[in-house]
Amino acid sequence: MTRACGGSAGVDWQQRADVVVIGTGVAGLAAALAAHRRGSRTVVLSKATETATFYAQGGIAVVLPFTDDTVEAHVHDTVIAGAGLCDEDAVCSIVADGARFDESAPGQWALTREGGHSRRRIMHAGGDATGAEVQRALDHAAATLDIRHNHVALEILHDGSAVTGVLVGNADGIGVLHTSSVILATGGLGHLYSATTNPAGSTGDGIALALRAGVDVTDIEFIQFHPTMLFDRNGSGRRPLITEALRGEGAVLRDARGESVTAGVHPMGDLAPRDVVAAAIEARLRETGDECVFLDARSIERFGERFPTVTAACRDAGIDPMSQPIPVVPGAHYSCGGVGTDVYGRTALPGLFAAGEVARTGMHGANRLASNSLLEGLVVGGRAGREAAGHAYSAGAPMAKIQPAQRVALDRGRVQQAMTRWASVVRDADGLNLLIDTLDDAAPRTMVTRADMEDVALTLSARIVAAAALARTETRGCHHRGDFPDTDPAQAVPVSVHGTVDGGVALVEPAVPVAR
Ligand SMILES: Cc1cc2nc3c(=O)[nH]c(=O)nc-3n(C[C@H](O)[C@H](O)[C@H](O)COP(=O)(O)OP(=O)(O)OC[C@H]3O[C@@H](n4cnc5c(N)ncnc54)[C@H](O)[C@@H]3O)c2cc1C
């Protein structure tokens, strides 16, 4: 039976836990394992079995000993990619912790290199199936934990000064998990757009949960578009990624006339940073009116062996990458910003932690360096788990009160259409204002189902992306403004957004209401 969670309506079930983790990707499971090892009664919620972690292709960026690599070099590459907005202390802390992974597993690693890295430091598995192996290993390690699939976190409950629980929807209706420690590990928000490399559950839920609990979100205008997502005229939702390692191995980007897409755009040509290549493709498509460009990978030897995931995705779409160029377009891929945390995953609300793609530690700044996200999820996830366990013991067991949960939402099709049209690879003020006008049509919605929660989260996430993108009147990292094509040194500061009591959003500095 399901029941609306509005007003003072009762709930269908209530339970207690020391620590509740929301998410079963790399960050959630790393956190849950760490909390469990500290002796905490840990419950892990997931609305689905699919994670972005599973789909990771490239690998994990790690500095290994006895190589020519150093923590300083990895920090340097990360900070350069972040275009002036990384928190260098956070980067140092996370990269240095990642460099200890090998201590428990010495051996010979097959390292590769990706865009922006000055060394071969990307650990990978199964050719281009790294994420599947990471997910498999974590699932195996977490097999004895209390993991509950098809459980949707609808609301973080708090008493104004600390977390008291989580409101959850499942097959038994609406329930409350009373707890003093909650870890958001809900992943990204790629489904703000009509097509994305992200799995179906990447709908910005953690962003919405945090904002509604009074926690600010930072750097959210920096959404990384991967230049090469497999194109299909009728394709929407999750679309296969065509890894940039193909370009590293010699594949070239051409338009329908056979002209190079990146010649004259950047000295590194097709291997320029992701945002540069994505913007070059977007510009070429506008110029020619074509629907896609092509990645010609026919020169790569033993293609099927090195890139089994890409080969399978192409074959599913009726393309043989060994004899045909692959049709590609830029696709929404990664949220560089998110819920503001320190490097231990702590947010401004005592008892609320965040880790993985949903969080903003300061590691990625304005642009994430390839393969740094699995690293961040593992390191900060583990730390957040330990912190949450410690907090649970010091805070004791709270009794949560149910809070009203009627929110506004627009149907996701409209959000996705508007975001795709006005807040994609290149944005400008006219488009962003039209986006905000569209989002103003959002109507009250009582959250009962997963779909309700996701529509509400997508609508709120779209609002804050629009607000932050409008406020940043420059081009920096993966935020490209058509009307402000240059980087403005005076804007080398993060933009933060908070939720207002009436359900709107406002920029923290200056505190100007941006969406009506
Ligand atoms: C195609 C692809 C390739 C990539 N390749 C790489 C790579 O090579 N290297 C790299 O470092 N990064 C890569 N990334 C990025 C990286 O995979 C992700 O950033 C990372 O896996 C995110 O992990 P996470 O634990 O934060 O979230 P996810 O793995 O996405 O897990 C999110 C979890 O939260 C749950 N959830 C969400 N909302 C709710 C809710 N309301 N209630 C309950 N549960 C909820 C979901 O069900 C899921 O279990 C890639 C991403 C994609 C999409």
Candidates 38, 121, 274, 463; catalytic one: 274
- What sign results for the dihedral spanned by CA atoms 338, 343, 348, 350? positive
Report the nearest atom of ligand 1 relative to the CA of 450.
41
The atom number, within ligand 1, closest to the CA of 356 reads 26
CA dihedral 460, 465, 471, 473 (to 10 degrees): -160
- Ligand 1 centre to CA of 477 (Å) is 21
Q: What is the CA radius of gyration of the chain?
A: 22
Instruction: Say which amino acid occupies 467.
Output: A
What whole-number distance in Å separates Cα of residue 163 and Cα of residue 142? 25
In short, whether 354's Cβ falls inside 6 Å of ligand 1 is: no
Which residue CA neighbors atom 27 of ligand 1 most closely? 187
Q: Which of 357, 360, 363, 378 has most ligand 1 atoms within 8 Å of its beta carbon, as the pocket-test mutant?
A: 357
CA of 170 to the centre of ligand 1 (A): 21
Tokens of 31: 């956190």
Residue whose token pair is 């259409």: 417
CB 269 within 8 A of CB 301: no
Buried b (16+ CB within 10 A) or exposed e, 164-185: bbbbbbbeebbbbbbbbbbbbb
Q: Tell me, yes or no, if 414 is annotated catalytic.
A: no
24 closest CA partner among 138, 133, 167, 130: 138
- Is the Cβ–Cβ distance between 147 and 46 less than 8 Å? yes
State whether the beta carbon of 197 lies less than 6 angstroms from ligand 1: yes
d(Cα 377, Cα 277) in Å, to the nearest integer?
Answer: 26
Check: CB of residue 325 under 8 Å from CB of residue 315: no
Beta strand extents in 84-222 (DSSP E only): 111-112, 122-123, 146-149, 152-158, 163-170, 173-178, 181-184, 195-196, 217-218
Q: Give the CA count within 13 Å in the CB-facing half-sphere of 408.
A: 19
pLDDT by residue for the chain (516 residues), tens only, comes to 334 433 335 789 999 999 999 999 999 999 999 999 999 999 999 999 999 999 998 788 888 877 888 999 999 999 999 999 999 999 999 999 876 654 444 455 666 666 677 777 777 777 777 888 889 999 999 999 999 999 999 999 999 999 999 999 999 999 999 999 999 999 999 999 999 999 999 999 999 999 999 999 999 999 999 999 999 988 889 999 999 888 988 999 999 999 999 999 998 889 888 899 999 999 999 999 999 999 999 999 999 988 999 999 999 999 999 999 999 999 999 999 999 999 999 999 999 999 999 999 999 999 999 889 999 999 999 999 999 999 998 888 788 777 656 799 999 999 999 999 999 999 999 999 999 999 999 999 988 889 999 999 999 999 999 999 999 999 999 999 999 999 999 999 999 999 877 777 888 864 444 433
Nearest-angstrom CA–CA distance, 177 and 180? 10
CA of 204 to the centre of ligand 1 (A): 11
Separation of CA 147 and ligand 1 centre (Å): 17
Decide whether any atom of ligand 1 lies within 6 Å of the 377 Cβ. yes
**Whole-angstrom distance, CA of residue 130 vs CA of residue 57:** 5
**Residues 492, 472 contacting (CB under 8 angstroms):** no
Token pair recorded at residue 254: 């051409």
pTM here is 0.94
Cα–Cα dist 172/88, whole Å = 46
DSSP secondary structure letter of residue 437: H
Which residue has a Cα nearest atom 35 of ligand 1? 23
